[in-house]
Structure 1
Amino acid sequence: MTVTTTTPIRDIRTTPLAAALIDDVRAVVARGESPGRTADLVAAAMRGYLTRPGLLTDEQRVGSAGHYTQHVLHAEADGSFSVVALVWLPGQRTPVHDHVSWCVAGVHQGTEAERRYALVPRGETSRLVVTAEVTNPLGSVCGFAPPGDIHEVRNSGSGTAISIHVYGADVTRLGSSVRRVYEQPGAVGD
């Protein structure tokens, strides 16, 4: 029997500080906790890294005028997690979406706004209802696990925003952490 091992996909420019975060995430994921508990533990680990200079290289802080930019910092070889930096120019946003796995996001620079939704049955169909409007300032961290993870995120500030995201999946294999994009959200309190 031949056993091959693969090296984790890590941005070759990963800084020592980002490498330490990746190692801390790896230790949490190895515990084998539930998705919700894993998200909570990763969020706690991430707090110590946000806002610290040297977490990202200059190249990993660059956005695009057309859309927010994802820089993959790491994807674990076994597919158990990925770490990415999302760079948002003013006004850039995601569509309303949910995820394939647990997720933790922390604001490294700037401010992000998040609108959270619930999917509410309506006869044989469902509709989205806004459940919260959240401002995520510099240094804030939130984590969640499906179901109940429907949201949209946008840069609500006048400068570049950067957030660090850890997903419980390999985004290099999947192409994204998004499971589904939702088209017609409802109004607050609908």
Structure 2
Amino acid sequence: MTTTAPRAVTAACTRRMSGLVEEIRETVGRGLPPELTAYLVGERIAPHLGAPDLLGPEHCEGDPDRYRQHLLHAETDGSFSVVALVWLPGQRTPIHDHLSWCTTGVHLGEESERRYRLISDGRTARLVPTEDVVNRQGEVCGFAPPGDIHLVRNSGSSTAISLHVYGADLARLGSSIRRVYRLPADEV
């Protein structure tokens, strides 16, 4: 009986993206702590952001109803996934946190992010904004749970595209979101 080794899920990627996936695989394979992995993956992503040959045209298509996720690669062992998120003007996420470490790089346009801290007195809880960040084309950021509660939006007037690498198997999970927060949120 012959068995075939499982293969990674990979969308029809460009040559540049295939090379980037190899760089990410090497970095993730080092088995470093999540925060350091997110930082080092950011170093791999940054030189490719804005390159016209990074994404195919089909990975730059938005959806008029909500931001759109294009799964580009999911590693067979579940160690990481690469997605392109396409944001039309005004589109946003709910306030949420994640299952794993994440690195984000802005490929086109800019994304606004509001970060939160969860405050509880034991009976009630609320979210308190801690920081507002605007990430522009070519900028990267990374994080690892816990403490990664945020909202991301396209506050610009044109399409924004970001590249996200998650330390999870999105082909299986479908999303990196662990929890959506529907608590009162203080305004800055």
TM-score bracket for the superposition, by shorter chain length: over 0.9
Q: Moved runs in structure 1, 4+ residues, more than 6 A?
A: none
Q: Which residue is 2:9 aligned to?
A: 9
1:186 counterpart SS class:
coil
Q: Residue 105 in 1 paired to residue 104 in 2?
A: yes
- Describe the shift of the 1:124–1:4 C-alpha distance in structure 2 as closer, same or farther (beyond 3 A): farther
Q: What's the offset of the Cα at 1:186? A: 2.0
1:114-151 deviations in Å (ceiling 9; x for gaps): 00001122233322110001111111100000001100
Computed over aligned residues only, the root mean square deviation of the Cα atoms, in angstroms, reads: 1.4
Q: For 2:184 and 2:56, locate their aligned partners in 1 and report how far apart those are by CA, in whole Å.
A: 37
**Relative to structure 2, which stretch is displaced further, 124-133 or 23-32?**
124-133
Q: Which residue of 1 aligns with 2:89?
A: 90
Deviation for aligned residue 1:172: 1.2
**SS of the residue 2:186 aligns to:** strand
Structure 1 stretches of 5 or more lacking a match? none
Local SS of the residue matching 2:156: coil
TM-score (norm 2): 0.96
**Conserved 8 A contact 1:90-1:160:** yes
Q: Report sequence identity in percent.
A: 57
SS, match of residue 145 in structure 2: coil
Partner of 1:31: 30
Opposite residue 7 of structure 1, the aligned amino acid is: R
Tell me how far apart the structure 1 counterparts of residues 5 and 62 of structure 2 sit (CA, whole Å): 34
Stretches of structure 2 that go unaligned for 5 or more consecutive residues are: none
Q: Partners in 1 of 2:185 and 2:18 — Cα distance?
A: 41
**Counterpart mapping for 1:147-186 below 5 A:** 147-186=146-185
Question: Could you tell me how far apart the structure 1 residues matched to 2:53 and 2:184 are?
Answer: 38
